[in-house]
Structure 1
Amino acid sequence: MGGDTQEGEFVFIYTTLPSMAAAEALGRALVAEKLAACVNIHPGLRSVYVWEGKVAVEDEVAGFIKTRAALVNEAMARLSALHPYDVPALLVLPILAGNTDYLEWARRQMKA
């Protein structure tokens, strides 16, 4: 898919959260502070991991935070401050391209 993005201009920050309420609070803060154009919240995850030496199985929700690469450091710092987990997964994923009208809208939602 083509689009008018410069390679690396936009990224997703992926994270998991313990509840829809926590994800919505985090999403609202990032969007209100113009650190994200949009936060997609996906319920219904089941995560299996080791924590404090024990295997844990927990229900979680995923958050896909659409932001500018130039805002990643500021967004990650804010996410770290807001996130309810002691060690949150905050993973940056590239967005290679997108449709022009969406990308233009996204640019207007965030800090320059």
Structure 2
Amino acid sequence: MTVVTVYCVFADAEEAERIGRTVVEESLAACVNILSPCRSIYRWQGAIEEAAEVPALFKTSDTVADRLIERIALLHSYDVPAIAVWPIDRLLADYGDWVEQSVLQL
């Protein structure tokens, strides 16, 4: 099994915490790191928009990542949430073992 990070931004800290707790409880992620708010500038429906958003990093296995993405998208308030998988090139072996033991075994 390979450990990956799933990156996502949320409308606010409350949404990030609610969804983060849910997916950890469901064993789709071993943990979530909810970061400080960031300022996003993006194009949406033909206009340039700005918003304060809350990024989060979910640690999971490559085999569970698609299920995690689907679950986050289902719970997310955005029509098209930014959700991306980042591969992890190297990590502490014990940490990798912990992530793998903490998520669903498919």
Gaps of 5+ in 1: 1-5
| TM-aligned CA deviation for residue 10 of structure 1 | 1.1
| TM-aligned CA deviation for residue 44 of structure 1 | 2.2
Q: Secondary structure at the match of 1:43?
A: coil
Provide the rounded CA distance (Å) in 1 between the counterparts of 2:5 and 2:34: 12
Q: Secondary structure at the match of 2:63?
A: helix
TM-score normalised per structure 1: 0.88
Name the structure 1 match of 2:53: 60
Deviations 1:39-98 (A, max 9, x none): 111122000011122211110110111110001121111111111110001111101121
Residue 84 (structure 1) aligned to one of 77, 88, 105 = 77
> What is the number of equivalent residue pairs in this alignment?
105
Q: Secondary structure at the match of 1:76?
A: helix
Q: Secondary structure at the match of 1:97?
A: coil
TM-score normalised per structure 2: 0.93
Q: Which runs of structure 1 show a deviation greater than 3 angstroms over 4 or more consecutive aligned residues?
A: none
Deviations 1:22-54 (A, max 9, x none): 000110011000000011111220000111222
* Two-structure CA RMSD over aligned residues (Å): 1.1
Whether 1:95 and 2:85 are equivalent positions in the alignment is no
- The percentage of counterpart residues that share the same residue type is 36
Name the structure 1 match of 2:9: 16
Provide the rounded CA distance (Å) in 2 between the counterparts of 1:21 and 1:40: 13
Provide the rounded CA distance (Å) in 1 between the counterparts of 2:66 and 2:53: 25
| TM-aligned CA deviation for residue 105 of structure 1 | 1.6
Amino acid at match of 2:85: V
